[in-house]
Amino acid sequence: MRHFSLILLLPVLTTACTPAAPEDPSLQLITRAERTQFEQTTGYGEVVQLMQRAAALSERVHYTTFGTTAEGRPLPLVIVGDSVDAQPATVTSGERTRVWLQATIHGGEVSGKEALLMLLRELVAGAHLQWDRSLTLLIAPIYNADGNDRMAVDNRPYQLGPIEGMGQRNNAQGLDLNRDHMKLESAEARALTRAYQAYDPHAVVDLHTTNGTEHAYHLTYSPPLHPNTHPDIDRFLRQEWLPAVTANLQRTGEWNLYYYGNVPRDPDAEMSWQTFDHRPRFNNNYLGLRGRLAIISEAYAYLSFADRVSVTRQFVEALLNFAAEHASTIATLATAVDESRVIGTRLVTRARPQRSDTPVSILLGGTEELQHPITGSPLRRRLDVVRPTPMHEYGTFVATPDGAEVVPAQYYVPAGLTTVVDLLAAHGIEGSALTDDLVINAEAFAISDTSQNTRLIEGHRERRIEGSWQPGEHSIEAGTLVIPMSQPLNRLAFALLEPRSDDGIVNWNLVDDDIESSGLYPILRTHAGPE
């Protein structure tokens, strides 16, 4: 009996002496949004802590920063993939296709931030191994860090949560970071464009939250909208990547997705579905002119906060599934665009929305009004209402009747235009200074008319000039910066330097003194090669 008693006791003793199973490391990466049942959003310090913890938990995750905000907060970034560290030279030396994922360009639009942190946790836990074979991910979940931490319960009126507050739209300087990609007046935008140059992602995904029209889409998206975007980028996004992802997510019946748009509020305006601005001050349009694939997503503001995070996370997952399957195609496309030439072709300087040939069926919806539990102010909640409504779509852009120019071989930027020279360098546009004085046949832009916006935009009264390029003989001083248009960033250089560009250095007042004092645009151009 004693023998049998000992045998019977063995399982009990073994159980009692066995150490507790180790905690799942990914449980250390739960976000504030999840811990509070999506009543709060994650603050900057906790975002950094989670990202650093993820790097400590996985040898495939590397933490770094890519600059600082206006208030001095380091901008966090993690590299996920087959790289031994986070150094740009290391990351770009590999053969994998690089996809940059960013969120919180507007501090109150926080669903993308939470979705990326959740995705990072999944990667640390070993999920999505199919991405690892062909992709390197660069994850920057809190770009407008200063705006994120200016949390208030009355930011983003009507948005359905997080009810305990979210950040403000602008950065600490009061600048909208999604209007600063051309003028680069914020520390954040300068840091971001340096990071784009250093890590050279083949594709960038920028995550937002929308508002406005009460439609029935859970998430809307857009490729680059500037008509000077290389047509192969536009074609690949509109005909392959975005349709495939949309079909994949809509197959479950859980989500409706479509191209971003709004219906005009003016009751006298045409009922139509209109996208946003084409100008490259917007991130995805800017990246298109840099020759990169770019996608912006907008989760619907009147979904619950939890649902906005969920649809955003699933959208990113579907994007990356497609990217992993087509990684070589994406990388090859980016290389081909870098090598493409535009000299002698006509590119757009000013654009207008293009009306679709036929009406499309847009899913309009509805909301109900709720009361904010803290402030008592109104909130809106999406109703499960879907009203297919035929209307014309304005989802692409074309040149205005006089809004195109032939691309020259080079521009000549006087050394005295130090702000312009600095801006070109900040964008990574190539140029070289003349070592000797020159006398050349070149074109100068004679101004016939100039006007400025009466309303301040980002602290500027945007300028517009009219006139024409006139040939003649010109003396050019040593030190003048020559910008060759045979370089990879030719489309971006054109948008900055053409005087009639609707988002260039003239528009942002960088050459106001020269324009007002001489009536001439101070930059020359030539169509022939260097003399």
Helix (H) or strand (E) holding 162: none
Q: State whether 249 and 136 are in the same domain.
A: yes
Q: What is the residue whose two structure tokens read 């022939």?
A: 528
Distance CA(228)–CA(224), nearest Å, equals 10
Same domain, 421 and 333: no
pLDDT of residue 27: 80
Examine residue 379 and state whether it is found in any structural domain, yes or no. no
Residue 531 has pLDDT above 60, yes or no: no
Nearest to 421 by CA among 483, 345, 487: 483
Question: Given 3-state DSSP classes, what are the helix, strand and coil percentages for the chain, each rounded to the nearest 5?
Answer: 30, 25, 40
Query: Has residue 5 been placed in a domain?
Result: no
Q: Is the pLDDT of residue 415 over 90?
A: yes
Cα–Cα distance between 296 and 430 in angstroms, integer? 28
Quote the pLDDT of residue 464.
Answer: 97
Place of tokens 């069926």: 361
| Three-point CA angle 224, 227, 230, nearest 5° | 70
Residue 360 has pLDDT above 60, yes or no: yes
What pLDDT sits at residue 427?
Answer: 98
pLDDT at residue number 16: 40
Domain boundary among 353, 369, 391: 353
Whether 399 maps to a domain, the answer reads: no
- CA angle 327/328/330 to nearest 5° reads 65
- Whether residues 70 and 136 share a domain: the answer is yes
The per-residue pLDDT for range 91-124, each reduced to its tens digit, is 999 899 999 999 999 999 999 999 999 999 999 9
In a domain, 64, yes or no: yes
Residue 393 lies in a domain: no
Question: In terms of domains, do 428 and 347 share one?
Answer: no
pLDDT digits (tens, 9 = 90+) for 234-257: 999 999 999 999 999 999 889 999
User: Is the same domain home to 430 and 339?
Assistant: no
On the question of pLDDT at 8 being above 50, the answer is: no
Coil vs helix vs strand at 356: coil
Domain, as residue range, for 335: 25-353
Tell me the CATH number at 241: 3.40.630.10
177 shares a domain with 258: yes
197 lies in the same domain as 56: yes
Any residues with CB less than 8 A from the CB of 402 and at least 6 apart, and which? 350
Give the chain's domain count. 2
Same domain, 171 and 247: yes
Of 317, 332, 353, which marks where a domain is finished? 353
Which carries the bigger pLDDT value, residue 21 or residue 31? 31
Exposure of 400 by Cβ count < 10 A (0-12 exposed, 13-18 middle, 19+ buried)? middle
Q: What percent of the chain has pLDDT over 70?
A: 95
**pLDDT at position 9:** 32
Q: What are 163-183's pLDDT values in tens digits?
A: 999 999 999 999 999 999 999
According to DSSP H, which parts of 186-345 are helical? 187-199, 231-236, 242-250, 283-289, 305-325, 327-339
248: tokens are: 């994949």
| Confidence band, pLDDT 50/70/90 cuts, at residue 33 | very high
User: Residue 209 domain-assigned?
Assistant: yes
If asked whether residues 110 and 243 sit together in one domain, one would say: yes
Say whether both 440 and 310 belong to one domain: no
Backbone angles phi, psi at 400, to 5 degrees: -65, 165
Check residue 529 and give its pLDDT.
Answer: 67
Q: Is residue 186 part of a domain?
A: yes
Q: Domain ends where: 307, 334, 353?
A: 353
Average pLDDT of 139-159?
97
Q: What's residue 528's pLDDT?
A: 82
Q: Is the pLDDT of residue 26 over 90?
A: no
Q: Give, rounded to a whole angstrom, the gap between the first and last alpha carbons of the chain.
A: 107
Mean pLDDT of the chain: 94
The helix (H) or strand (E) run that includes residue 414 is: none
Whether the Cβ atoms of residue 143 and residue 105 lie closer than 8 Å to each other: yes
Give the mean pLDDT of 345-373. 98
> 515 and 418: one domain?
yes
378 is a domain residue? no
Mind spelling out the 3-state secondary structure of 33-68? Answer: HHHCCCCCCCCHHHHHHHHHHHHHHCCCEEEEEEEE
Question: Pairing mode, if any, of strands 293-300 and 219-222?
Answer: antiparallel
Mean pLDDT, residues 218-235 taken together: 98
Look at the block and give the residue holding tokens 């990684």. Answer: 327
- Confidence at residue 23, expressed as pLDDT on a 0 to 100 scale: 65
Are 86 and 66 spatial neighbours (Cβ–Cβ below 8 Å)? no
141 shares its domain with 282: yes
DSSP 8-state secondary structure symbol assigned to residue 171: -
> With 80 as the cut, is the pLDDT of residue 14 above it?
no
Average pLDDT of the residues in 377-404: 97
